[in-house]
């Protein structure tokens, strides 16, 4: 393959090896920004694209808006040429463009690919021969081939085509799922193998060369659809297994068995078992959403994904189960939810992160308000919480003092900064949805 500019595949690979290739990352969020920093650390000159001016300004002034990314890391990247912009004409200067924009669900629980289509439509006019475009956003199998490729070809004024083999000129397109687990300090990002599926062998080879410079292992697969499905399998596996332990937890409570003790014992088996933990419901941008991308797509093939639907049903019900357990706990004190003062501990969807997307805390607070409770929250990561796509709370963080004033404290997110012993000592009633009070013996605790 040689581009119309006379650049061969080996030239492009050499550019990657000697770090002269320029990388554009579209979407400077939880996925795109850390990826930009990884490439910058390896000496690549990275440009971050985002439609939010606030983010572009913050990054260009050497600041950060994600708690676990320190301004220092941004400033370090700036030394390798990292800049942020919302000007898509800059795409022309890039060699590879990686798309990391949101893929949420619509209000009817269907894939909302408007961010992906918006991005591809914006970059398509600026693409040229030899460019590599990689989609990282989680989506259903077929998106890259059926949506991204036609949009690129339609949106390019010079009639550019997507190259399918080494004999063809054009844009190279691939899909590579993001597999990060925010807050997980046990695996370094570069140790998470990177799955890559290209529209053709050259796209795969180029994408593997880029990722091979920052990840220890690249796993090429035969097509973008296989890579798209791989990511969904991983998330559906988690979603279904979490639903399983959430259901068993409810049974165990009735039977007077501690599910956490059961899981701890089961995980001593050296094969065939992986521990998943129950909780107040799913949260985050991935597990509650991604499986439904597949169940939507499956309908096109006249197929029902029953595991996904059943897991969704169990997991979506968990915040309601927490409310039932609270009602039961208050009942023991001759109180009702209506009129009670309740403190919700933790808004983030999981421990020690500053992300509240799809957090079960939001549902729990709304359910409590609907039932007439007077609700406050504490979360060191959120001084205030306003409106989101699915909620309107408009609340401010409450200091963690005078806990005796609350009829109940619900531990929804087990941030490690909390002193759980002190919380149990001071509170009248503690509803623990995370096993944060493990090892403590107190009649005030309801574990659920
Ligand atoms: N957050 C995670 O832990 C995680 C893990 C694995 C996969 N993913 C997937 O990665 C994708 C991105 O998720 P995220 O958590 O980074 O989302 P995010 O909301 O944190 O970031 C997305 C960014 O894209 C920007 N954006 C939206 N439309 C744009 C456009 N047209 N042009 C430029 N910028 C645009 C937004 O302003 C935002 O800054 C999603 O598909 C998600 O499912 C996320």
Q: For a substitution probing ligand 1, which of 87, 101, 235 has the most ligand atoms within 8 Å of its CB?
A: 101
Can you give the pLDDT at residue 108? 87
Structure tokens at 122: 């914006």
- For ligand 1, whether the C-beta of 235 sits within 6 Å is no
Can you give the pLDDT at residue 353? 93
User: Which is more confident, 57 or 3?
Assistant: 57
Mean predicted confidence (pLDDT) in 201-225: 97
Report the chain's mean pLDDT, rounded to a whole number.
95
- For ligand 1, whether the C-beta of 137 sits within 6 Å is yes
Going by alpha carbons, the residue nearest to atom 5 of ligand 1 is 180
Whether 4 has a pLDDT exceeding 60, the answer reads no
pLDDT digits (tens, 9 = 90+) for 427-440: 999 999 999 999 99
Whether 184 has a pLDDT exceeding 90, the answer reads no
Going by alpha carbons, the residue nearest to atom 36 of ligand 1 is 27
- For ligand 1, whether the C-beta of 143 sits within 6 Å is no
| Cα-based distances in Å from 93 to 24, 38, 82, 96, 373 | 9, 20, 14, 9, 56
- For ligand 1, whether the C-beta of 102 sits within 6 Å is yes
pTM for the model stands at 0.94
Mean predicted confidence (pLDDT) in 50-61: 98
Question: Does 239 participate in catalysis according to the annotation?
Answer: no
Distance 180 CA to ligand 1 centre (A): 12
Whether 392 has a pLDDT exceeding 90, the answer reads no
- For ligand 1, whether the C-beta of 138 sits within 6 Å is yes
Distance 100 CA to ligand 1 centre (A): 5
- In angstroms, the first-to-last Cα distance of the chain is 60
Whether the CA torsion 66, 70, 74, 80 is positive or negative: it is negative
């Amino acid at each position: 393959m040689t581009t119309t500019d006379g650049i061969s595949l080996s030239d492009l690979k050499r550019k990657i090896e000697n770090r002269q290739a320029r990388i554009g990352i579209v979407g400077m969020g939880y996925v795109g920004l850390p990826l930009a920093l990884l490439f910058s650390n390896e000496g690549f000159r990275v440009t971050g694209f985002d439609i939010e001016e606030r983010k572009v300004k913050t990054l260009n002034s050497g600041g950060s808006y994600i708690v676990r990314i320190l301004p220092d890391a941004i400033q370090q990247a700036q030394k390798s040429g990292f800049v942020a912009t919302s000007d898509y004409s800059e795409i022309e200067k890039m060699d590879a463009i990686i798309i990391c924009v949101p893929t949420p669900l619509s209000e009817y629980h269907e894939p909302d690919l408007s961010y992906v289509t918006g991005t591809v439509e914006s970059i398509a006019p600026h693409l040229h021969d030899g460019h590599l475009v990689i989609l990282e956003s989680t989506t259903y199998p077929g998106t890259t081939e059926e949506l991204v490729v036609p949009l690129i070809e339609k949106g390019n004024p010079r009639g550019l085509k997507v190259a399918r083999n080494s004999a063809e000129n054009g844009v190279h397109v691939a899909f590579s799922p993001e597999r990060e687990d925010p807050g997980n300090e046990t695996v370094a990002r570069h140790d998470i193998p990177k799955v890559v599926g290209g529209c053709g062998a050259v796209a795969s080879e180029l994408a593997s060369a880029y990722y091979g410079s920052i990840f220890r292992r690249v796993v090429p697969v035969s097509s973008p659809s296989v890579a798209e499905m791989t990511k969904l399998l991983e998330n559906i596996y988690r979603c279904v297994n979490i639903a399983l332990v959430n259901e068993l937890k409810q049974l165990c409570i009735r039977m007077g068995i501690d599910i956490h003790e059961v899981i701890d014992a089961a995980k001593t088996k050296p094969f065939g078992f992986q521990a998943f933990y129950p909780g107040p419901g799913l949260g985050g941008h991935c597990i509650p959403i991604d499986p439904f991308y597949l169940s939507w797509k499956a309908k096109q093939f006249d197929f029902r994904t029953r595991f996904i639907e059943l897991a969704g049903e169990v997991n979506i019900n968990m915040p309601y189960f927490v409310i039932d357990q609270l009602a039961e706990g208050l009942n023991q004190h001759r109180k009702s939810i209506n009129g009670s003062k309740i403190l919700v501990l933790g808004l983030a969807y999981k421990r020690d992160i500053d992300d509240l997307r799809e957090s079960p805390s939001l549902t729990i607070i709304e359910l409590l308000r609907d039932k007439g409770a007077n609700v406050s929250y504490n979360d060191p990561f959120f001084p205030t919480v306003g409106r989101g796509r699915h909620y309107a709370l408009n609340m401010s963080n409450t200091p963690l003092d005078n806990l005796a004033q609350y009829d109940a404290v619900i531990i929804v997110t087990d941030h490690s900064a909390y002193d759980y012993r002190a919380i149990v000592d001071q509170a009248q009633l503690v509803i623990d949805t995370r096993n944060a009070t493990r090892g403590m013996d107190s009649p005030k605790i309801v574990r659920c």
